[in-house]
Amino acid sequence: MRTFTYERAKSPAEAAAAVARNPGARFIAGGTNLLDLMKLEIETPAHLVDVNRLELDRIEATKDGGLRIGALVRNTDLAADKRVRKDYGVLSRALLAGASGQLRNKATTAGNLLQRTRCPYFYDTAQPCNKRTPGSGCSAIGGFSRPLAVIGSSDQCIATHPSDMAVAMRVLDAVVETVRPNGETRAIPIADFHRLPEKTPAVETVLAPGELITAVTLPAPVGGKQVYRKVRDRASYAFALVSVAAVVQPDGGGRAAFGGVAHRPWRVEAAEAAMPRGAKAVTDQVFAGARPTEQNAFKLVLAERTLGSVLAEARG
């Protein structure tokens, strides 16, 4: 690990300004992803701004009946919150499907959204990777691609986003709240938060330099039967090959978002009108234009069957 300087921020705006004025600086909270990347010298920040003492660790009701989740709320606390378990069950289930209890005790809401890919070539510094070193090439294209993206990829990158929580947030229409270095705030719909790789796979979100996530807001509960199903190579502590976060209403309609298939949580709202007709009617639209490799084409069938299993469970 390379040497770095360190400071503790006293306010969100101060934290954002500190990162903005230090080239190569990073925020640190739980550190469950960042510290691993620093040890491997994939991330080499010259300066760390600790945000753990900011008062961003509360879950509060909003005026419209939703919840505002502070950026520093730990995954364990969010999954266990009675309001989340009652009204946003898909979120609680997604959190419990991710990582170990020890990691959930440290990992934060904002950090979970900002996880970097687990593509094996991203972690292998001896291999070219456009996400790690822009312009160097993508070793996964033509290489080992079984766990990687089948849709939304580009000729620069076929990595996937690893978060379980983000898939549930996407199906719930969450909104990400931020503060910029100049103190301005903004609200970003999660549908717009993560970028597709296109020509710049190293740019993973729409956050500006120094912009700090302060909270994630959930709208009023949508009801219905909420299910999160994660299919992986082993029963625990593994990232999704395919995951489905779904809200199924009594009339058969609902919502569905998919994880493990793209550079961001994948949801096509227009396809959800087909949910009463079954999983294939939905996935045919959701994965229209998919570009799987020979090694991961199975994910298209797996996504259909996983959604079918979720719909069967939701409908009893």
pLDDT at 161 over 80: yes
* Mean pLDDT along residues 103-122: 97
pLDDT tens-digit series, residues 48-88:
999 999 999 999 999 999 999 999 999 999 999 999 999 99
Torsion angle of C-alpha atoms 182, 176, 46, 7, degrees rounded to 10: 70
Angstrom CA distances, 12 to 32, 109, 113, 165, stand at 21, 15, 18, 23
Residues in the chain: 316
Residue type, 177: E
Provide the whole-model pTM: 0.97
Q: Quick one: DSSP state of residue 194? A: B
pLDDT mean across residues, the chain: 97
* Signed CA dihedral, 183, 185, 190, 192: sign only: negative
Summarize the confidence of residues 248-267 as an average pLDDT: 97
Q: What is the pLDDT of residue 220?
A: 98
CA 310 to chain centre: 20
φ, ψ (nearest 5 deg) of residue 157: -165, 135
Report the alpha-carbon distance of residue 14 to residue 20 in Å, rounded. 10
Token readout for 300 is 């298209």
With cut-offs at 50, 70 and 90, classify the pLDDT of residue 132: very high
Q: What percent of the chain has pLDDT over 90?
A: 96
Q: Which pLDDT score, from 0 to 100, does residue 80 have? A: 98
The Cα–Cα gap between 165 and 221 comes to 17
pLDDT number for residue 236: 83
Confidence of residue 277 (pLDDT cuts 50, 70, 90): very high
Residue 135 token pair? 């312009």
